[in-house]
């Protein structure tokens, strides 16, 4: 019975670690997406300005 409790606690810690890692990865993906959108918007505006010359 004690071994079953230890296995259950180890699984709980493992799932908590995986959940935290996934949460951090979603945050990193959101930051990269915002940077990508900003770069896309700025480069598009810069190219339009360059065509007028």
On the question of pLDDT at 51 being above 60, the answer is no
Closest to 48 in 3D by CA, of 36, 40, 27, 33: 40
On the question of pLDDT at 4 being above 90, the answer is yes
Q: Quick: pLDDT tens for 13-50.
A: 999 999 999 999 999 999 999 999 998 888 865 555 55
Give the pLDDT of residue 30.
96
Give the pLDDT of residue 16.
93
């Amino acid at each position: 019975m004690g071994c079953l409790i230890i296995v259950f606690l180890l699984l709980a810690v493992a799932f908590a670690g995986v959940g935290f890692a996934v949460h951090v990865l979603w945050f990193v993906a959101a930051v990269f997406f915002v940077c990508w959108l900003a770069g896309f918007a700025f480069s598009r505006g810069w190219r339009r300005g360059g065509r007028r010359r």
